[in-house]
């Protein structure tokens, strides 16, 4: 599928922001006053910035508020509600730390869980789609959550936790790629099953549906060469997992920690670009493409 920059920014930045809010909700690091203010500003800039970026992919951004109306059936709507709830609860918790030097662990824990719930709801927007076999797996929410927790731990200065979570996230990323490469074939979806005509004989396209491009071809049928995909996977693994882990194993310094944050963020961007670029929507069958 077409890897829109707005959606890549949204899923990457919001994941990091809500991941950091989760750790702040647990009291990690145990900060108050202006130090807490700085951490919360960073978390909100990432989380809210990512959510704002997502609206740029809408055909009618002015209708974004309608996303709140379908919470019973739509994971997008559930994400909207959980994100607002998480930001509101963590805002109360953060105000206590900054202005009152007060710790309210119950409120922090609730806000932290809502933050992870937001990341989970985001992942389920993609994981529940039957039309994209590569995404339809429990590994998708597991990967989203692991990346958010690892990135959040790194931003929160939780070095030991970050090391283990980066290893976990990297392992899940490799497993997600390996499983995804055969997901479309394993789904059994073909032009025959897509049209429902397989029972009467072999199905093939007589001619393309049309000669020009359209919305479906632009958004749903993006093709990336295997050679380029492999190179980008190596870059994603190197920047997103290997280099940050190496930097965290070295004697601690704020400079190295800062480089690790930037490296992981860049690697996550590449990984998320591949998340969309390698996704094979079944509509591509109608255009003779996978």
Residue 211 CA to residue 18 CA, distance in Å, equals 44
Count Cβ atoms below 10 Å from residue 34 Cβ, excluding itself. Answer: 9
Count Cβ atoms below 10 Å from residue 188 Cβ, excluding itself. Answer: 9
> Taking the C-alpha atoms of 26, 80, 147 and 268 in order, what is their torsion angle to the nearest 10 degrees?
-140
Name the burial class of residue 61, with classes exposed (0-12), middle (13-18) and buried (19+) by CB atoms within 10 angstroms of its CB. Answer: exposed
Residue 234 CA to residue 52 CA, distance in Å, equals 30
Place of tokens 């109360």: 92
| CATH code of the domain containing 254 | 1.20.1630.10
Q: Looking at residue 198, what is its pLDDT?
A: 78
Q: Looking at residue 70, what is its pLDDT?
A: 85
User: Which residue ranges of the chain lie beneath pLDDT 50?
Assistant: none
> Domain range spanning residue 138?
5-287
Backbone angles phi, psi at 30, to 5 degrees: -80, 75
CA-nearest of 128, 120, 119, 134 to 1 is: 134
Give Cβ neighbours of residue 129 (< 8 Å, ≥ 6 apart): 135, 136
Structural domain tally of the chain? 1
pTM of the entire structure?
A: 0.93
């Amino acid at each position: 599928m077409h890897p829109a920059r707005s959606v890549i920014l949204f899923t990457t930045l919001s994941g990091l922001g809500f991941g950091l809010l989760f750790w702040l909700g647990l009291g990690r690091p145990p900060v108050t006053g202006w130090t807490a203010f700085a951490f919360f500003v960073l978390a909100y800039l990432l989380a809210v910035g990512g959510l704002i970026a997502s609206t740029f992919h809408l055909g009618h951004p002015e209708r974004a508020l309608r996303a709140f109306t379908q919470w019973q059936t739509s994971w997008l709507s559930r994400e909207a509600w959980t994100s607002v709830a998480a930001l509101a609860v963590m805002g109360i918790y953060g105000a206590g730390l900054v202005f009152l030097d007060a710790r309210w662990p119950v409120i922090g824990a609730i806000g932290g869980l809502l933050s992870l719930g937001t990341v989970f709801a985001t992942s389920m927007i993609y994981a529940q789609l039957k039309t994209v076999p590569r995404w339809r797996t429990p590994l998708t929410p597991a990967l989203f959550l692991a990346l958010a927790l690892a990135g959040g731990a790194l931003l929160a200065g939780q070095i030991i936790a970050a090391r283990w979570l980066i290893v976990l996230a990297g392992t899940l990323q490799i497993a997600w790629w390996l499983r995804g490469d055969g997901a479309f074939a394993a789904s059994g979806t073909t032009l025959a099953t897509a049209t429902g005509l397989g029972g009467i004989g072999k199905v093939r396209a007589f001619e393309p549906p049309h000669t020009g491009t359209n919305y479906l071809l632009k958004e749903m049928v993006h093709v990336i060469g295997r050679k380029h995909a492999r190179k980008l996977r190596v870059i994603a693994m190197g920047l997103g997992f290997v280099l940050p882990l190496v930097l965290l194993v070295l004697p601690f310094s704020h400079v190295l920690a800062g480089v690790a944050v930037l490296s992981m963020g860049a690697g996550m961007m590449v990984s998320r670009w591949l998340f969309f670029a390698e996704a094979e929507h079944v509509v591509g069958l109608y255009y003779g493409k996978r």
